[in-house]
Amino acid sequence: MKEPQLPAPDPPSHSANGNFRKQTRFLVIGAGSRGNAYARAVTTATPGTIHAVAEPHPFKRSEFGRNYIWGSEGTPSEGQVFSDWREWIKWETTRRQRASKDSDDGNGTTGSGPVGVDGVFICTLDETHVEIVQAIAPLQLHILCEKPLALSLQDCLTVYRTLQPPESSTQKPRSPPTIFSIGHVLRYSPHNTLLRKLLLADRVIGDIVSLEHCEPVGWWHFSHSYVRGNWRRANAAGDGSLLTKSCHDIDFILWLLCSPPSLETARAEGHEPHFPRSISSAGALTQFRRARKPTAAKDATNCLSCPAEPDCSYSALRIYKDRHLAKGHRAWPVDIVCPDIEDVYQSRGPEAAEAHLLSCLREDYDVTTDADSAISARPWYGRCVYEADNNVCDDQTVTFAWDDEEKAPGRLAKTATFHMIAPTEKQCERRGRVYGTTGEIEYDSNTISIYEFATAKTTTINVPKPPPDQKESHGGGDYGLARQYVRAVEAVVNDGLDIETAQARFVGCTLEEAVMSHAVVFAAEEARRDEQVVMWKEWWDTKLAASAKAWTA
């Protein structure tokens, strides 16, 4: 496939001796909760700057700009605010063409026109990622994409071949042209980086024999996002709650059990990840379905008209109004239900904000008259959780098994299990245990406990908690991910480091590894649906061959 050609991005504006360092600039596409999380991290924890935003919702767009770009008293400059990513691409393409013409005419471009960005954060809904990446790729900008990368394996492989197209003669991947990072934030929290160091570098429990990892999603969190919200329905291509909620848990397990301690060292020595031999999975939608609906609810389909609402744990009134808005919380999840809740509160007061919330929760549908396409196209946060159109698993386990790798000493047989469970007290506070030849490690989101067989001694490490302003950032993972991505971009732009080295040293994960991590999730879903064991290498080779054939057709 012929790649479209566009004028190159802005050249590095640092001197040869490195005395002047350019401040790297970034565009955020999607000013929702994830876009705000990364913008906050870049602004407070890196030398980079958020330069522009593309967001269709007017209030979200202006609020984001005031918080991270032009300030509460300022106004946006040209090239800083766009109603969507297509408008930005059109503007950026024109900007480059004008800059290129000025340069050709001998006029120069420094200070003579609006500047562009060095990198992009893609923080839109999952189903839009592929189209956006494909559109951005010709611009040769660095990319951080929120997880999941795409909602099907085919689309993940499309992204891979778009960003790192193979050489036509050998079909081997070329050297990557830009930095790429994926929103697998669990790799970057202080807790998890310490856990990995203890296991792989310090080897405090010897060789790893088995791992158990659990993500307790949280009883009302699951109902918000996966019963009433945007991620409640799986498609035929294989996405579901394992992908949309727990793909970074699968990635976390592979990071601990497959990846070498140092990607940079492994790349220099030609070592490949140690992937599992087999993958199996079991799970179902067990709780949030009509069979479990309380008898007292009768025929009600919406919490605001349900006779059982006062006694229901999943009452939308209790979750959104009583637990959050009534206590002054207007951010997530209330601003997901009503994106302009803050605007209403500031302009018209608390009573108007509550009335606005209730009007949003009152929205409902009738399956006998409304088209399924219209129902599935948007969330319904006041809908009865037992009468919703959700179909994703609320309880699922995945099992992995590895063989010894004879050509690489130390890469030994082991097993791992992952459990994603919805009705839990804890909300996304992961926990697990790792069994080794000389001891075992138990961990939760705050502590790591090491038990040594030889001494019968237990050592507990209380991992320092993130600062208060980072408490909802995946244990500091959002900040760690953004920091490493910006560092990688800085190393390329200001220090002249090659892309592959910067990717390995700072991001610690290649595009190929990110795609294969997603592929393991699709393999697990296939195993669950077909009630079979997937043999990874054969499965992956088959999928790659089919993708290569389709790409060159």
186-287+392-470+511-535 is classed CATH 3.30.360.10:
yes
Rounded Cα distance, 144 and 166, in Å: 21
CB-based contacts of 323, cutoff 8 Å, min separation 6: 220, 329
Q: What pLDDT does residue 100 have?
A: 84
Query: pLDDT band at residue 411, thresholds of 50, 70 and 90?
Result: confident
Detail the DSSP E strand segments found in 403-474: 414-421, 431-436, 439-443, 447-452, 457-462
Q: Where are the domains of the chain?
A: 186-287+392-470+511-535, 300-376
pLDDT band at 19 (very low <50, low <70, confident <90, very high): low
Rounded to 10 degrees, what is the CA torsion of 467, 473, 477, 482? -100
Residue 42, both tokens? 């870049």
Amino acid letter, residue 382: G
Mean pLDDT of the 389-402 span: 97
- According to DSSP, the residues that pair with 399 across neighbouring strands are 280, 417
pLDDT the model gives residue 18: 53
DSSP secondary structure string, 116-175?
--SEEEE-S-GGGHHHHHHHHGGG--EEEEPSPS-SSHHHHHHHHHHHSPBPTTT-PBPP
Q: What is the mean pLDDT of residues 321-341?
A: 95
pLDDT digits (tens, 9 = 90+) for 211-254: 999 999 999 999 999 999 999 998 766 679 999 999 999 999 99
In the predicted structure, residue 61 carries a pLDDT above the cut 90: yes
Both tokens of 29, joined, read: 């596409």
Q: What is the average pLDDT score of the chain?
A: 90
Q: Is 26 left (phi over 0), alpha (psi -120 to 50) or beta?
A: beta
Q: Which of 165, 176, 174, 151 is nearest to 551 (CA)?
A: 165
Local structure of 71: helix, strand or coil: coil
Residue 518 confidence class, pLDDT cut points 50, 70, 90: very high
pLDDT category of residue 338 using cuts at 50, 70 and 90: very high
Per-residue pLDDT tens over the stretch 101-118: 876 655 444 456 899 999
Which element (helix H / strand E) includes 551? helix 536-552
Give the per-residue pLDDT at 15: 40
- In what side-by-side order are the strands of the sheet with 49-54? 81-82, 49-54, 25-29, 119-122, 142-145, 180-182
Mean pLDDT across 356-362: 97
According to DSSP, residue 325 is labeled G
Cβ atoms within 10 A of the Cβ of 24, count? Answer: 22
Contacts of 145 (CB under 8 A, 6+ apart): 122, 129, 133, 180, 181, 182, 183
Pairing of strands 208-216, 414-421: parallel
Work out the pLDDT band at 547, boundaries 50, 70, 90. confident
pLDDT for 467: 74
Which pLDDT belongs to residue 352?
97
Could you give the CA distance from residue 314 to residue 172 in angstroms, rounded to a whole number? 51
Task: For the chain, count helices (H), then strands (E).
Answer: 19, 15
Task: Determine which of 223-232, 376-385, 445-454, 460-469 has the lowest per-residue pLDDT on average.
Answer: 460-469
pLDDT of residue 109: 44
Using CB atoms within 10 A of its CB, is residue 364 exposed (0-12), middle (13-18) or buried (19+)?
middle
Q: How far is CA 363 from CA 160, 324, 333, 338, 359, in A?
A: 40, 19, 17, 12, 7
Parallel, antiparallel, or unpaired: how do β-strands 395-402 and 278-284 relate?
antiparallel
Of 414, 417, 385, residue with least CA distance to 398: 417
| Residue for token pair 């830009």 | 178
Tell which wins on pLDDT, 214 or 18: 214
Mean pLDDT is lowest, of 254-263, 350-359, 363-372, 480-489, for: 254-263
What pLDDT is attached to residue 303? 98
Q: What does each C-alpha distance from 315 to 201, 218, 303, 341 come to in angstroms?
A: 48, 15, 6, 20
Name the residue with higher pLDDT: 182 or 103: 182
